[in-house]
């Protein structure tokens, strides 16, 4: 007997479409290299040194035995760590997907660097910088997405999601609700603990009479 297939969950096929993922990766990669170009160009102008695309697509400049090498590593941390974290929060928005996109961007940078230089990076400082950059962008991106997810949501001027009110506010709200309930009952024709009231239809008043016990 053929086993009955379970129907797919609603929205499962449209939750992570391949084209959307590819577009997000392409956008992140473009922002990654755009930010690195701006940062390295600014650093070269301030330092008075020449700018070269090998600073962006190469790995030889990231060294631990020179000041320029440490500065290059710091620029990569700013680009891949800080700038990418902001881009991940804006474009991805879901905290559980942030690490995958962060490490994918740095893996693609490894592929581009290897193709541009003709060999896999052999500098340990470069590997350490890229790993620190990917970890920093993933950590900051997850924190940023979770912080935004926990922010209160307002609809029609009232909070529908977010932090719960304090105990004092709850007590005040409870007292206000009781008072409003009493007033509402009186308006509707009911009276709590009183001997007089208005009829349900508001047509007249009635008075409760004491009933004598039967013998």
pLDDT at 29: 95
Does the residue 163 lie in any domain? no
pLDDT at 9: 54
Radius of gyration of the chain (CA): 33
Q: Which secondary structure element, helix H or strand E, spans residue 31, and what is its range?
A: helix 18-47
Does the residue 62 lie in any domain? yes
The domain total for the chain is 1
pLDDT at 47: 83
pLDDT at 182: 40
pLDDT at 207: 56
Does the residue 103 lie in any domain? yes
Does the residue 187 lie in any domain? no
pLDDT at 162: 53
pLDDT at 93: 82
pLDDT at 213: 61
Does the residue 6 lie in any domain? no
Cα(8)–Cα(147) distance, rounded to whole angstroms? 31
pLDDT at 78: 94
User: At a CB cut-off of 8 Å and minimum separation 6, what does 192 contact?
Assistant: 182, 185
Does the residue 99 lie in any domain? yes
Does the residue 138 lie in any domain? yes
Does the residue 65 lie in any domain? yes
pLDDT at 149: 80
**What is the chain's length?**
215
Q: Which residues span the domain enclosing 28?
A: 18-153
Residues in the chain predicted with pLDDT less than 50, given as ranges, are 1, 10-14, 163-172, 175-195, 197, 202
Cα(177)–Cα(190) distance, rounded to whole angstroms? 17
pLDDT at 150: 84
Cα(144)–Cα(136) distance, rounded to whole angstroms? 12
């Amino acid at each position: 007997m053929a086993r009955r297939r379970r129907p797919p969950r609603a929205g499962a096929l449209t939750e992570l479409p391949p084209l959307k993922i590819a577009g997000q990766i392409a956008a992140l990669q473009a922002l990654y290299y755009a930010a690195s170009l701006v940062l390295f160009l600014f650093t070269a102008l301030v330092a008075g040194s020449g700018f070269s695309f090998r600073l962006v697509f190469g790995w030889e400049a990231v060294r631990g035995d020179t000041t320029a090498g440490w500065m290059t590593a710091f620029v990569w941390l700013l680009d891949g760590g800080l700038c990418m974290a902001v881009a991940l929060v804006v474009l991805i928005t879901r905290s559980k997907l942030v690490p995958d996109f962060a490490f994918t961007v740095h893996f693609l940078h490894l592929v581009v660097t290897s193709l541009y230089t003709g060999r896999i990076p052999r500098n340990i400082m470069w590997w350490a910088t890229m790993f620190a950059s990917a970890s920093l962008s993933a950590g900051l991106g997850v924190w940023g997405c979770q912080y935004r997810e926990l922010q209160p949501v307002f609809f029609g001027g009232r909070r529908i999601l977010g932090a719960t009110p304090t105990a004092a506010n709850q007590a005040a709200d409870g007292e206000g609700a009781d008072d409003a309930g009493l007033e509402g009952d009186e308006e509707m024709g009911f009276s709590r603990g009183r001997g007089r009231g208005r009829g349900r239809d508001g047509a007249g008043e009635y008075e409760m009479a004491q009933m004598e016990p039967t013998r």
